[in-house]
Amino acid sequence: MNVTMKIQNVKTIPSRRSIPLVLYSLVFLSLHLYGAGEKTLVIGGRARWNMVEHRMGITEISSIRPYPVLILSSALRSDTEASLDMDLSFDAGEPGLFADRMGHYRVKTAEGLYSADRRFARIGMGAALFSGNRLKNVNTEAPLVITPKPGALLAPGQIIRDFTMQFWLFPMNLENGEQILSWIASKQERPGEATVQRIHCTASKNRLQWTFLDFFYLNAPAERMSISLEGATSLIPKTWSHHLIRFDADTGLLEYLVNGYLEAITYVTAGGREGGQVYYPRIGQEGSLTLGERFIGMLDELKLYSRFITNPGIHKYPLQGGRMETRPIDLGETNTRVLMVEVSGGRTSNSGGMIQNEYAEQGRLRFSDDSAFQFFIRAADSPYRWTGTTAEEASTESDWQLLIPGTALSGIQGRFVQIAAVFYPSGDGEASPYLDEIRIHYQPDEPPPPPTRITAVAGDGAVDLSWKPSSDADLAGYLVYYGTAQGDYFGEGAMLGSSPVNVGNRTSIRIEGLKNGMLYYFAVAAYDHGESAHIGAFSREVAARPLRMLE
């Protein structure tokens, strides 16, 4: 009785031959025989990454291998996002598309500004490339001008408390007088009396020098202060360096850092030391921020914050790494065994356009700079109930099992499989592992083949059926289908029940309760063991007409 109920529960499911793997063809998954009864499913590589459903800190790029790879994102947002006022990533691909992601500033570009691609960018997919046209012709326009909209931190009349500005710089030579950044606005303290407010960041003896003119004020507008800070470290041409300047309104502290190290410090207070009355930034009228007016090189990731940022995070790749997960992948049959998962990938680093790649065909993918992967797997006959979990636990980590690529697996079984990979950068955050391809080797639990040599002998209101057993080690029994039209097995009235009739593991049966004179058609299918039994294909069809017999 239990077996009969199970078969009745699954008899409305199409047979295996009627389930084309449409999902696989849609995502161009490579599916081929790997051995006797074994198959291989490929994700990534030529098959691309359509089966990857979740990407946390992971992006896809196409410049490392012949086909796109998964890699850590170098443009991951941090917990400073809430205070971000200006964000120019220069990832748009061409200068005319450069824009402030926050929408607080207008960006205008001119001749002499170019876009460097990912190979040369410090972060993300691009950087701003300046050609130094203003060094040659003073009549040309500034290559990049940023003007504030109402509500921006640098909008006219704003009194600023804390602020932080940071950017990455790649100078070609860094000659004296090259101007990296300039803010100019007008100040009118009294009718007929106007001054110019300025911030300059310029090169001097291979260092950057910051000058603030009439930018900091006391409550009384006439009391203003000018400040100058100069870096202590000589910058190396054709090398990326990180620059950050920040102000704390509570103490008046103004600091300049290069590559995360303190270069210069002062207090914007009466007396110039901690504890004095603090001067605050007061923004002038008609101000604009100019970038690269007398500069040859690249600038990337210009950001302005409305707070004092204590941990800017200057690593190329996030030290916490990232994670990807595939969607539940349908292997086609319940009780399918996953035999092995192989992966290929490598590591990559990029310094000023010098890309270094290391490729590994198989293995755990751990590299000498400590960049590495960790892989996980889970399988189940339902994508909503993974092995060893309840429905409530299905979204937790408890059901994931550690996966060592290239080693034989045991106990990973189900119609659906899901793969996860954690990406860890190098110890200094300058290199990322990348994933090129995942190959899942599996063995489907296919339905048993149909029985052969089926015969049908008519009797009085009955038909005697017999057949040769199906050759399957997992055989559990047979279903007998009958009907009154060829290929149409919806018969009713037999004493054993309507079609199909579960006859258990027998190879002959008498079907009684049929109408004499009516031609009946029969087919037999085998099914295997399991909570969700697999029903095989139909056998050869046979026919018989029950007739009343002479006594």
Q: Looking at residue 81, what DSSP letter applies? A: G
Cβ neighbours of residue 306 closer than 8 Å, sequence gap 6 or more = 83, 85, 153, 160, 161, 162, 163
Mean pLDDT of 118-124: 87
Residue 281, pLDDT score: 93
Residue 132, pLDDT score: 84
The per-residue DSSP string of 427-456 comes to TTS-EEEEEEEEEEEEE--PPPPPPEEEEE
- Output the six-digit token pair for 157: 């009349």
- Is the pLDDT at 162 greater than 50, yes or no? yes
Q: What is the Cα gyration radius of the chain?
A: 36
Residue in this structure with the two tokens 């001054």, named with its chain if needed: 195
Residue 225, pLDDT score: 86
**Which of 229-238, 298-307, 310-319, 358-367 shows the lowest mean pLDDT across its residues?**
358-367
Question: Is the peptide bond between 143 and the residue preceding it cis, with omega within 30 degrees of 0?
Answer: no
Residue in this structure with the two tokens 């339905």, named with its chain if needed: 447
Residue 80, beta-bridge partner list: none
- Is the pLDDT at 1 greater than 50, yes or no? no
Residue 35, pLDDT score: 42
Residue 293, pLDDT score: 87
d(CA 339, CA 104): 54
CATH 2.60.120 fits 21-72+319-443, yes or no: yes
Classify 241 as helix, strand or coil: strand
The model's pLDDT over 60-83, given as tens digits with 9 standing for 90+, comes to 988 788 999 999 988 655 556 789
The per-residue DSSP string of 98-166 comes to ---TTSSEEEEE-TTEEEEETTT-SSTTEEEEEE-HHHH-TTSPPSEEEEEPTTSTTSTT-B--SEEEE
Mean pLDDT of 322-343: 92
pLDDT class for 28, splitting at 50, 70, 90? very low
Cβ neighbours of residue 498 closer than 8 Å, sequence gap 6 or more = 490, 491, 492
Domain with CATH 2.60.40.10 in the chain: 452-544
Q: Within 10 A of 183 (CB to CB), how many other CB atoms are there?
A: 21
Residue in this structure with the two tokens 């008609």, named with its chain if needed: 286
pLDDT class for 316, splitting at 50, 70, 90? confident
- Is the pLDDT at 5 greater than 60, yes or no? no
∠ CA 8-13-18 to the nearest 5 degrees?
140
Residue 221, pLDDT score: 58
d(CA 99, CA 109): 10
Residue 24, pLDDT score: 32
Question: Quick one: 536 exposed, middle or buried, by C-beta within 10 A (0-12, 13-18, 19+)?
Answer: buried
Q: Which amino acid is at 192?
A: G
Torsion of CA 93, 97, 101, 102, to 10 degrees: 170
- Output the six-digit token pair for 122: 């410090």
- Is the pLDDT at 287 greater than 70, yes or no? yes
Residue in this structure with the two tokens 């919806």, named with its chain if needed: 490
Residue 396, pLDDT score: 47
- Is the pLDDT at 23 greater than 60, yes or no? no
Superfamily of domain 452-544: Immunoglobulins (2.60.40.10)
- Is the pLDDT at 385 greater than 60, yes or no? yes
Residue 472, pLDDT score: 82
Residue 260, beta-bridge partner list: none
Q: Looking at residue 41, what DSSP letter applies? A: E
Cβ neighbours of residue 436 closer than 8 Å, sequence gap 6 or more = 44, 45, 65, 67, 69, 343, 344, 345, 346, 359
The model's pLDDT over 235-276, given as tens digits with 9 standing for 90+, comes to 999 999 999 999 999 999 999 999 999 999 999 998 888 888
Mean pLDDT of 125-152: 83
Residue 328, pLDDT score: 95
Higher pLDDT, 169 or 388: 169
d(CA 506, CA 442): 32
Residue 349, pLDDT score: 86
Residue 223, pLDDT score: 79
Cα distance from N-terminal residue to C-terminal residue, the chain: 36
Domain with CATH 2.60.120.200 in the chain: 81-305
d(CA 158, CA 197): 13
The per-residue DSSP string of 288-337 comes to EEEE-TT-EEEEEEEEEESS--S-----SS-TT-EEEEEPPEE-SSTTPE
Q: How far is CA 99 from the centre of its chain?
A: 24
Residue 255, pLDDT score: 96
The model's pLDDT over 402-412, given as tens digits with 9 standing for 90+, comes to 999 999 999 89
Higher pLDDT, 119 or 456: 456
Mean pLDDT of 2-27: 32
Classify 24 as helix, strand or coil: helix
Residue 79, pLDDT score: 52
pLDDT class for 394, splitting at 50, 70, 90? very low
Question: Quick one: 411 exposed, middle or buried, by C-beta within 10 A (0-12, 13-18, 19+)?
Answer: exposed
The model's pLDDT over 90-99, given as tens digits with 9 standing for 90+, comes to 999 899 999 9
**Which of 31-40, 203-212, 224-233 shows the lowest mean pLDDT across its residues?**
31-40
Mean pLDDT of 430-454: 92
Higher pLDDT, 220 or 42: 42
Residue 413, pLDDT score: 87
Q: Within 10 A of 262 (CB to CB), how many other CB atoms are there?
A: 11
Residue 15, pLDDT score: 33
Q: Helices in 350-507 by DSSP H: which ranges?
A: none
Higher pLDDT, 267 or 10: 267
pTM given for the model: 0.66
Mean pLDDT of 462-491: 93
- Is the pLDDT at 156 greater than 80, yes or no? yes
The model's pLDDT over 335-370, given as tens digits with 9 standing for 90+, comes to 888 999 999 999 998 765 667 888 877 666 888 889
Residue 274, pLDDT score: 87
Mean pLDDT of 190-219: 88
Classify 365 as helix, strand or coil: coil
Give the CATH architecture of domain 81-305. Sandwich (2.60)
Comparing CA positions, the residue from 26, 63, 69 lying closest to residue 45 is: 69
Exposure string of 331-340, with b = 16+ CB inside 10 Å and e = fewer, is bbbbbbbbbb
∠ CA 214-217-219 to the nearest 5 degrees?
150
Mean pLDDT of 521-535: 86
| Average pLDDT score over the chain | 85
pLDDT class for 550, splitting at 50, 70, 90? low
Q: Which amino acid is at 370?
A: D
Residue 171, pLDDT score: 95
